[in-house]
Structure 1
Amino acid sequence: MIPSKEEMYAALEERHGKELQKRFAEAAVVICGLGGLGSNVAVSLARAGVGKLHLIDFDKVDISNLNRQQYFPDQLGMYKSQALTDTLKRIAPYCEITSRTVKLDESNIPELLSDYPIVCECFDNAEQKAMLVNTVLEYFPGKKLVAASGMAGLGSANTIVTRRISKNFWLCGDGKSDVGGGLGLISARVAVCAAHQATMVLRIISGEEEA
């Protein structure tokens, strides 16, 4: 039997405290890219009780995604936006989850991200990452932006860190490793970077903005 909304909230409140859980429940975050980073970030934020999550991705679940992304074999071929929504509804049935199956670019970012004060950049492609970061910083300098760069291979997880680049911009990763430079993306190290992003988002919501 699924617990009631009140029961689930009370359990989170006991874990996080009343004031912090209220902040989480009132927060709204948009996650751009639902691959190894985005799917893991979304799961962490949903489990923490973040009230509103908006998911954006244009891609479908592929068998190559299963080594590091929060999808299941029976979701192959589904759009990631729908598959992850279904999964998150099982994890956090009372979280307000919306999604869009669309590819973000300079022309639609101002509209699609306007309602969300915190933006998580979770793309796999370096050019897409740069495009999103630059567009958000240009159009929405007041938004909180948490991005990632460098998580490939099997280097020490201790090299993955969170840095505050500017007042409203944080970057997670080792800043060096690239999928084209040798060993590709490994589940655990990608999850470490995603955990850095999710932690930074929760810190921002809590009012703690230092990296």
Structure 2
Amino acid sequence: MIIGIAGCGGIGSNVAYHLVRTGVKYLKFGDFDKIEESNLNRQFYFKNQIGKYKSETLKENLTLINPEIKIDFEIIKFDRNNISEFFKDCDIVVEAFDKKEYKSILVEELLPLGKKIISASGIGDYDTKSIEIKNIGKNLIVVGDFKKDTDDYKTYSHKVGIVAALMSEKVLEIGGYFEK
């Protein structure tokens, strides 16, 4: 089973971290962005990695946890022309974009292909009491508070981490990773 992750920032890097620690054997992810100091409050990177590409560095960090994990990554800016091709072999795709327009592109391009998608909506601010998990149709699950966007609210590690952990749980549940 191949788990895809679109974006390697706060949600993407933390979902990947949880999945590797839970025993997922094959990840595929991409991002075009570089690590900035402002990312360190919520992303799975370290001060000495500032300036490096997120996707390449995430692979390095994850292989420190499990050197035998299979990881395909790319330094890529996703758009309508490449997102379907990139995730074509993935069974489940985690949407981990900051911007709404990229979230929409992922859902619009991958949902018709029957991909199972786990998405985030409302990870800004510090309040975690209103985090929900919603099933939107057959193959789309969204996690967050559905109100507090990162454009309007600061992000905090604990809230991003909780949303990422819940998204990871859904990936593991759908992927059949939990023992009965």
Is TM (by shorter chain) over 0.5? yes
AA aligned to 1:50 is V
CA contact (8 A) 2:124 2:156 kept: yes
Correspondence for 1:204 among 169, 174, 177: 174
Question: Percent of pairs identical after alignment?
Answer: 41
Structure having greater relative contact order (Cα 8 Å, sep ≥ 6): 2
Unaligned 5+ segments in structure 1 are: 1-26
C-alpha displacement of 1:129? 1.1
In structure 2, how many angstroms separate the alpha carbons of the residues matched to 1:110 and 1:201? 19
Structure 2 residue matching 1:120: 3-state secondary structure: strand
4+ runs of 1 displaced by more than 3 Å? none
Distance in 2 of aligned mates of 1:180 and 1:170: 22
For 2:55 and 2:22, the matched residues in 1 are separated by 20
| Matching residue of 2:155 | 185
Paired AA for residue 191 in structure 1: G
Matched, 1:63 2:37: yes
Q: Identify if the C-alpha distance between structure 1 residues 56 and 95 changes in structure 2 by more than 3 Å, giving closer, same or farther.
A: same
Offset of residue 207 of structure 1: 7.8
Using structure 1 for the length normalisation, give the TM-score.
0.81
Q: What's the TM-score, normalizing by structure 2? A: 0.95
Q: Equivalent residue for 2:83? A: 109
Measured against aligned partners, the alpha-carbon deviations of 1:112-145 in whole angstroms (never above 9, x if no partner) come to 110101100001111211121111123x1x2111
Flag the structure with larger Rg: 1
The answer for unaligned runs of 5 or more in structure 2 is none
Residue in 2 that maps onto 1:120:
94
Q: How far does residue 93 in structure 1 lie from its aligned partner after superposition? A: 1.2
Find 1:174's aligned residue among 121, 141, 145. 145
Of residues 129, 134, 137, the one that matches 1:163 is 134
Aligned length: 178
Which structure's residues are more often helix, by fraction? 1
